[in-house]
């Protein structure tokens, strides 16, 4: 049994879509990044890669490679899941949290969980996605960005 932790943060900017957990969230700003900047999926990928000491998403999907420009992070998550399986491990659970002052994310959580589970070929009950604010404190509280944290457990098959 192995445990991994992941963290990601992106700045909120105008003229970008807000994609979280592979879901397009209606909002007046989106996250700045080379890919779709999905902080939730990036944190989950880093936790999965970290669980097996495989580095981070920057190692596997560098932002200097044009083939990853504007790519859906669901595509990258699927590749990470395949890598975990190829190493002889299965995902037991993922627990994640999105930190954002706004928008309200609860209406989108079930779709996020479904997207994550489908991409990783696991049951949705193995995926937890939560959202919280920082009560107006820090860069997320001031609506300057969104961050996410994830922890996962993988087990040898």
- Residues within the annotated binding site? 8-10, 34-35, 42, 56-58, 61-65, 132-135, 139, 142
Q: Who's near 109: CB < 8 A, 6+ residues apart?
A: 21, 129, 130, 131
Question: What sign does the CA torsion over 66, 70, 74, 77 have?
Answer: positive
Distances from the Cα of 57 to the Cα of 21, 68, 104, angstroms: 16, 11, 27
With tokens 């990036």, the residue in question is: 42
DSSP letter at 105?
Answer: -
Q: Which residues are annotated as a binding site for a divalent metal cation?
A: 8, 10, 42
């Amino acid at each position: 049994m192995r445990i991994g932790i992941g963290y990601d943060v992106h700045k909120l900017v105008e003229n970008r879509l807000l994609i979280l957990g592979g879901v397009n969230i209606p909002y007046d700003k989106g996250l700045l990044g080379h890919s779709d900047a999905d902080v939730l999926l990036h944190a989950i990928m880093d936790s999965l890669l970290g669980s097996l000491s495989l580095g981070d998403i920057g190692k596997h999907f560098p932002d200097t490679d044009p083939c990853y420009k504007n790519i859906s992070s669901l595509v990258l998550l699927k590749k990470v899941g395949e890598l975990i399986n190829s190493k002889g491990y299965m995902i037991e659970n993922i627990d994640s949290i999105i930190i954002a002052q706004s928008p309200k994310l609860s209406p989108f959580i079930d779709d996020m969980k479904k997207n994550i589970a489908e991409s990783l070929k696991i049951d949705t009950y193995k995926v937890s996605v939560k959202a919280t604010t920082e009560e107006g404190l820090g860069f997320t509280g001031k609506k300057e960005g969104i961050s996410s944290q994830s922890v996962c457990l993988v087990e040898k098959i």
